[in-house]
Amino acid sequence: MFNLTAVMETPLGVAGITIGSLLFFTLILVIGVLIARIVSINVRRALSERLPANERELFTKLVYYGIVILAFLAALPQLSVDLSGLLVAGGIAGIVIGFASQSVISNLISGLFLMFERPIRIGDNINVSDVTGSVEDIRVLSTVIKTFDGIYIRIPNEKVFTSNITNYVHNVARRFAYLISIRYQDDADLAIRIAKEVIETHPFALRNPSPSVFVDNLGDDGVNLTVYIWAPARNWWEVRTDLLWKIKKALEENGIEIPFPQRTVWFPERLEVEQRPAVEEK
Amino acid sequence: MFGRYKGTFRRESGEILVEVEEDDGLLTYRRRCGGDKFERILVATMAEVIINPVEPVNLPKDITNFLMIEFPPVMIEPGASRTVYLKFPVEFGVFVESARDIEVVDIFAPTTQKYTLYGTPNRGLIARWYGSEVYAEIPEVDLYREGVMEFTITNTYREWVEVSRAVFRSVDMKIYYGDFVASTATMRVVGPNIAETDFIDAPPRPGMVKSIELYTARKISALSRGYLMEWGLS
């Protein structure tokens, strides 16, 4: 007949651990993970309207891993591990591990600073350490960036924290510029007016700060106009890609053209064109 | 065109066409506005389609919750309060409602849109911009293009203040419709460059129908009411 008590008390031969204690250890861990998952899901849901995604995810992770660690510590006595002994051993091990895991600690601390200083947030378009893309996740040890080509890049937080960070969407609005050349015989005032009219039609070319179009310099091949446009930081690229061609078409519709490169060559001696006899007809 | 419709229907006004037709046994919502078209198949048994004006901050796409109305400068003496009328843009919201839920199907407008920055690039906000004159009485408007905002300005500051723009949080906006689209708003000037704006849940004329708000249909909870304009009033 199957004796459950006997089976549970069967020693495994390692530090007095029985099948029962191993099962209890596993059970406590599983229950801990389940509780952590349920609590973190509810925490995420409760904070969804109150905290930005970045802070919300960090807090949720802290809650999740906190409960899992508590469950692990609660389960350890089942494996006959004396926690008081662990504290002493932990102190010594901590020093050893501390030296060994300097970079891990450095990344951890940098990660915490990144989360508090908040130079970047999840979803921001940034450039850091020559990597340009959008922030997918800010983890405890690393920051994950998805480049605009869709490539996954993991950067250690220490590197992110100590590098120059360019956040393209930190401000609500940003400016971009076009350089447009027109021929010398074209009316620059008319070109400026047409460009402004085209910009005015775009919803996201901001009314204030107002766009600026002016003659910037007199170039080798034509008159160079500079166009400055402000747009919402998260939509500036679509405005930039949309407007340039529309301005070009509007200018051409009004007889204003983009000049080709040209060079006027002066000869000190008068050039004579030699009249060659026509090729005889065969 | 505004109202509730059951089953198939067709409403046309100028360049706007909204209809629900049955095509090959499938209920299809179809909309045309200018050159823009939109279509959705509706799988529903008892659905009602609701068309009403919504908060005008959704087109060409949803990037902000703020509406700025700019108007000719108004000088207000200390302690004075006056109700004037402004115009604001109208956007059409189309909802499908069943016994259990309501959902946005389509948002469109026959007008163009323009956005602006209120404040500084690093600390300001993007707002839908609209220019209006200041009217002493309810002005004539095209029902499908512009609405009338009953706007009460109160100067609680000790000095004369010049005001030429009002920024509103759109989630507070209450819109009514009838012969015209309307909303009621207030501005309380509290400093030379600071004012509080808010909407009042009351139509300027009795008998108007209240619109379903987008933020209600989208189940977005508004955490705060009103908006504190702190980047200048003109």
State the DSSP code for B138. Answer: P
Higher-confidence residue of A108 and B142: namely B142
CB atoms A232 and B122 under 8 Å:
no
Per-residue pLDDT band for A281 (boundaries 50, 70, 90) equals: low
Residues pairing with A137 in the sheet? A144
CA dihedral of A59, B215, A120, A166, whole degrees rounded to 10: 180
Name every chain B residue with its beta carbon within 8 A of the beta carbon of A173: 117, 121, 124, 126
What pLDDT is attached to residue B101?
A: 86
Give the ranges where chain A is alpha helix by DSSP (H): 4-8, 19-47, 53-75, 83-100, 102-117, 157-162, 188-200, 236-253
Nearest to B117 among A170, A173, A203 (CB): A173
Our CA-based measurement puts residue B26 at a distance from the nearest CA of chain A, in whole angstroms, of 36
Q: Note whether A235 contacts B: Cβ–Cβ < 8 A.
A: yes
What pLDDT is attached to residue B221?
A: 59
Q: Which of A201, A207, A229, A230 to mutate to test the interface with B (most CBs of B within 10 A)?
A: A207
CB atoms A207 and B114 under 8 Å:
yes
In tens, the pLDDT along B21-63 reads 988 878 899 999 988 999 999 888 777 899 999 999 999 999 9
Tell whether the model's pLDDT for residue A248 goes beyond 60. Answer: yes
Q: Which of A118, A170, A172, A230 to mutate to test the interface with B (most CBs of B within 10 A)?
A: A172
Our CA-based measurement puts residue B76 at a distance from the nearest CA of chain A, in whole angstroms, of 25
ipTM of the complex: 0.91
Name every chain A residue with its beta carbon within 8 A of the beta carbon of B116: 206-208
Higher-confidence residue of A177 and A50: namely A177
Average pLDDT over chain B, rounded to an integer: 92
SS3 B218: coil
pTM passes above 0.80:
no
Contact B190, B200 (CB under 8 A): no
SS3 B216: helix
**How long, in residues, is chain B?**
234
CB atoms B126 and A170 under 8 Å:
no
Per-residue pLDDT band for B111 (boundaries 50, 70, 90) equals: very high
What pLDDT is attached to residue B72?
A: 97
From CA B175, how far away is CA A131, in angstroms rounded? 47
What pLDDT is attached to residue B155?
A: 96
Per-residue pLDDT band for A114 (boundaries 50, 70, 90) equals: confident
Find tokens 């890049």 and name the residue.
A153
Amino acid at B178: G
CB atoms A234 and B117 under 8 Å:
no
Nearest to A171 among B114, B122, B223 (CB): B122
CB atoms A173 and B124 under 8 Å:
yes
Range B205-232 average pLDDT = 82
Q: Note whether A209 contacts B: Cβ–Cβ < 8 A.
A: yes
What pLDDT is attached to residue A49?
A: 67
Contact B149, B87 (CB under 8 A): yes
From CA B169, how far away is CA B181, in angstroms rounded? 18
CB atoms B115 and A203 under 8 Å:
yes
From CA B84, how far away is CA B89, in angstroms rounded? 17
What sign does the dihedral A54-A60-A63-A66 (CA atoms) show? negative
What percent of chain B is modeled with pLDDT above 70? 96
In tens, the pLDDT along A122-180 reads 899 999 989 999 999 888 788 999 999 999 999 999 999 899 999 999 999 999 999 99
Our CA-based measurement puts residue A193 at a distance from the nearest CA of chain B, in whole angstroms, of 19
Locate the chain B residue with the closest alpha carbon to A202.
B114
Per-residue pLDDT band for A58 (boundaries 50, 70, 90) equals: confident
Q: Which of B113, B116, B164, B167 to mutate to test the interface with A (most CBs of A within 10 A)?
A: B116
